[in-house]
Amino acid sequence: MADFFNKYREEFNKVWGKLNNNIKIIIIVSTILLAAGFGYLIIRGSTANYKPLYTNLTTRDTAAIVEKLKEDQVDYKLSGNGSTILVPEDQLYQLRIELAGAGLPDQGVVGFEIFDSSQFGTTEFERKVNYYRALGGELSRSIQSISGISYSRVQITPPEQSLFIAEEKSATASVLIDLEPGFNVSPEVVASIQNLVASSVQDLPISQVTVVDTNGNLLSIDGETNGSSWVSDPKNFTLQKNFEKSLKNDLAAMLTKVLGPGNFTVQVYAKLNFDQRQVESKTYSPVVDEDGVVRSQESNTESYVGSNAGPAAGIPGTDSNIPQYQAEDSENAGSYEKENIITNYEINEKIEKHVYAPGEIEKLSVSVMVNQDADEETIEQIRNAVQAAIGYDRERGDVVNITAIKFDNSLAEAAAQARAAEEAAAQRQTYIYAGLIILILVIAAALIIYLYRKQKTAPAGSGVDVSVEEEEEELDLLKRSPEEKEKEQVEKELERLVNSDPEGAAKLIRSWLVDE
């Protein structure tokens, strides 16, 4: 084996020795660059790109997942004080599926799998406690599957049975939820959670289910969500949110043209009245110039014509026994007429019925924060523009607040820098790959051009072969044995001598024959 390598090394040294220095430099530099390029590609390809498998893990979940990864011999890294686990990117989704099948991460929640390892001799009390513990865990997992909820925990107090109905107590439950950043839970979602828990626990009314978030906000009140009218008709909640969103978008479009994007924030709260109202009003007006409608009319007429009064008549007594005297005649007899007309007119009455559609604005509150040190005049101009845009009504109790304060964009800037650095790294990597390929092509082209020019400018008879057949013979020369190569060399020298000096060659051959 040593002789084999020595033979090829000697042949390589002979071929290498025939090359000039320029060719040697080109070959050495090209070899180094090619080796460096392939080495970089190999190292880059063998280095795994790690991505987060899970974040915000508890210590218990981290320990369980790490143990599982060690069993499967999967490389991993820990970051974020152990709350984040990083794994190779090409194994990310497969590992998530496998861990989910193993029930990880469970976030400290235990479901009905607790009965898979039940021990003999467990008391009735222990079985009851484990049942409600497992039921709470299963409900927690169900609630966590709701969009926008990252964590939940359900605690159940079982009902107390008694021989007396009056002393029996129903079950109660409390639900703790953690919302994803930027997510607000709607009242109907809270109502759904309450119904889900109440339907899963025996003797648990909806009114005994309390829902709280991790910020300490009570999301349910007396078994009803905060804003019970919204729950009874979820369309009202949707209408209010759509109105607030529309008003917010209009204000944002107006302020963007003045302050520029990203230089302000707008929040709008609208209190709408969804009660249906019907108002009936009656208006009475007097009759003018007897133009009204006659309701009733009464007419009385009295007349009298006569000359003497008739005999007096009276009740028997002193006055009636007084003798009568003859009255004197009168030429003109007395008479009179009397007419009395009473007319009643209908009173002018106007009846109006007003039906108010639900959704009337009761109050508007708008808050605008400006990312600059604005003076009072600028703030007042912005306030006037906002008030005009929302239809500000002081009597309605509308509020418009404008605040000028410098924004803290450090987090957004850090995220932008991280994205820029990642994009720059990817771009540099692309440039490196492209540069290596271009460099290899340039070196190969330069080498080919150099050899082509070298062969083209070589003088005749200098030993430079230009035909393809002769090049193949030179390549085949490297594969021959030393004896064959020596014989071939002698033949070539003789051929060269005969061509250059035929007479001298003839004398040399005659001298060889004489010697023999």
CA distances from 84 to 51, 63, 101, 421, 463 (A): 10, 11, 20, 22, 71
Least confident of 174-178, 310-314, 423-427: 310-314
- Whether 393 shows a pLDDT value over 80: the answer reads yes
Residue 132 in this model has a pLDDT that exceeds 80: yes
pLDDT band for position 93 (50/70/90)? Answer: confident
Q: Which of 318, 326, 403 is nearest to 369 (CA)?
A: 403
Inter-helix orientation angle 234-259/187-200, to 10°? 140
Cβ count near 427 (within 10 Å)? 10
- DSSP bridge partners of 51: 87
Q: Is residue 474 part of a domain?
A: no
Per-residue pLDDT at 333: 55
pLDDT at 164 over 70: no
* Judgement on whether residues 255 and 219 belong to the same structural domain of the protein: no
Mean pLDDT of 335-345: 76
Average pLDDT of span 202-206: 84
Phi-psi region of 396 (alpha: psi -120 to 50; beta: other; left: phi over 0): alpha
Confidence of residue 149 (pLDDT cuts 50, 70, 90): confident
CATH number of the CATH domain containing 138: 3.30.300.30
| 3-class SS letters over 65-121 | HHHHHHHCCCCCEEECCCCEEEEEHHHHHHHHHHHHHCCCCCCCCCCHHHHHHCCCC
The answer to whether position 160 is within a domain reads yes
Q: Could you tell me if 397 and 509 lie in one domain?
A: no
Does the pLDDT at position 107 exceed 70?
no
Residue-level pLDDT at 231: 43
Residue 452 lies in a domain: no
Helix (H, G, I), strand (E, B) or coil at 371: coil
Q: Are residues 181 and 262 in the same domain?
A: no
DSSP E strands, 274-314: 277-285, 294-306
Check residue 370 and give its pLDDT.
87
The answer to whether the CB of 265 falls within 8 A of the CB of 326 is: no
The pLDDT of residue 384: 92
Amino acid at 490: V
The domain boundary, picked from 338, 373, 404, lies at: 404
Strand-strand pairing, 209-213 and 294-306: unpaired
Contact 281, 354 (CB under 8 A): yes
pLDDT at 458: 52
Rounded Cα gap, residues 179 and 200, in angstroms: 23
What is the average per-residue pLDDT within 81-100? Answer: 80
How many helices (H) and strands (E) would you count in the chain? 13, 15
- What mean pLDDT do residues 98-125 have? 68
Q: What is the rounded distance in angstroms from the CA atom of residue 408 to the CA atom of residue 443? A: 53
Shared domain for 361 and 508, answered yes or no, is no
Read off the pLDDT band of 466 (50, 70, 90).
very low
Whether residue 499 is found in the same domain as residue 399: no
- Structural domain includes residue 146: yes
End-to-end CA distance of the chain: 42
**In the predicted model, what is the mean pLDDT of residues 310-326?**
52
Residue 226 has pLDDT above 60, yes or no: no
Residue with tokens 């929302």: 390
* Statement to judge: residues 207 and 179 lie in one domain: yes
For helices 59-71 and 92-101, angle between their N-to-C axes, nearest 10 degrees: 110
Last residue of a domain, one of 404, 423, 443: 404
**Do 116 and 250 have their domain in common?**
no
Domain assignment of residue 461, yes or no: no
- Predicted pLDDT at 464: 43
Query: How many beta carbons lie within 10 A of that of residue 143, not counting itself?
Result: 22
- pLDDT higher than 70, residue 214: yes
pLDDT of residue 347: 72
Mean per-residue pLDDT for 152-158? 87
The pLDDT assigned to 233 comes to: 58
The pLDDT assigned to 465 comes to 43
Same domain, yes or no: 249 and 372:
yes
Read off the CATH number of the domain in which 397 is found: 3.30.300.20
Give the integer Cα–Cα distance in Å for 395 and 363: 10
* 179 in any annotated domain: yes
Q: Tell me how many degrees the CA angle 20-21-26 measures, rounded to the nearest 5.
A: 105
- Report the alpha-carbon distance of residue 408 to residue 418 in Å, rounded: 17
In this structure, are 95 and 127 located in the same domain? yes
Neighbours of 191 (CB within 10 A): 23
Mean pLDDT over each residue of the chain, to the nearest integer: 74
- 367 and 515 together in one domain: no
Contact 150, 144 (CB under 8 A): yes
Asked if 238 and 245 count as a contact pair (C-beta separation under 8 A), the reply is no
User: Among 69-73, 114-118, 439-443, 468-472, which is the least confidently predicted range?
Assistant: 468-472
Find the mean pLDDT for residues 76-84.
79
Range(s) of the domain holding residue 494: 480-516
Q: Does position 232 have pLDDT exceeding 50, yes or no?
A: no
- pLDDT given for residue 476 in this prediction: 58
Please count the residues of the chain: 516
Residue 289: band (very low, low, confident or very high) from pLDDT cuts 50, 70, 90: low
The reply to whether 316 falls in a domain is no
Please tell me whether residue 263 adopts helix, strand or coil conformation. coil
Chain-centre distance for alpha carbon 392: 32
Does residue 406 surpass a pLDDT of 60?
Answer: yes
pLDDT at residue number 234? 63
- Co-location of 131 and 259 in the same domain: no
Last residue of a domain, one of 176, 206, 232: 232
State how many domains the chain has: 3
Neighbours of 114 (CB within 10 A): 13
Top mean pLDDT of 26-40, 270-284, 338-352, 379-393 is at 379-393
Question: Would you say residue 463 has pLDDT above 50?
Answer: no
What is the edge-to-edge ordering of all strands in the sheet holding 50-54? 50-54, 84-88, 77-79
Q: Residue 8 pLDDT > 70, yes or no?
A: no
| Cβ atoms of 386 and 402 closer than 8 Å | yes
Instruction: Provide the CA 254 distance to its chain's centre, in angstroms.
Output: 25
Q: Which of 263, 255, 266, 268 is nearest to 409 (CA)?
A: 263
Residues 152, 185, single domain; the answer is yes
Reply yes or no on whether the pLDDT at 424 is more than 60.
yes
Looking at per-residue pLDDT, the higher value among 92 and 5 belongs to 92
Instruction: Indicate the burial class of 57 (C-beta count within 10 angstroms; 0-12, 13-18, 19 or more).
Output: buried
- Per-residue confidence (pLDDT) for residue 386, from 0 to 100: 92
Which of 373 and 179 is assigned the larger pLDDT? 179
- Say which amino acid occupies 28: I
